[in-house]
Amino acid sequence: MSPSLPFGGGISRYRAVVAAVFTALVVLWVAFVPLSPVAVALAAVSVVYFVANAFDSVRSHPLYDLASAAFVALLFALWYSISDADSAFLAALTVLAALGVVVEAYNYRHGTSHLRFDF
């Protein structure tokens, strides 16, 4: 049986294991490293995203692509805000991710898949 096949309740085994390992690492990171509240928010948003992706019903929802693009934009914005250096690269990634949210909102509204990389 392939590890990516769903088991009980529409949960992908592979994604559930990855989410569990990621959550454990983030909990250790937050517990033992002094972090700013924004860094803790970054960690929490990432854990929620990984755990949610384990459920097939989340990934098959029509708003999944838009929510995923919004997560990436939020992730880069939070990362930029906690970055010590004045990073033009992170700012550019944040702007590009925000444009991705606009594209996905258009795709959702019109039922298209323009500018989407589907693998």
8-30 per-position pLDDT tens digit: 568 999 999 999 999 999 999 99
SS percent in the chain: helix, strand, coil, step 5 = 70, 5, 25
CB 107, CB 114: distance < 8 Å: yes
- Count of C-beta atoms within a 10 Å radius of residue 24: 11
Is 114 or 17 the better-scoring residue by pLDDT? 17
The pTM for the full model equals 0.83
CB 82, CB 36: distance < 8 Å: yes
The confidence score (pLDDT) of residue 25 equals 96
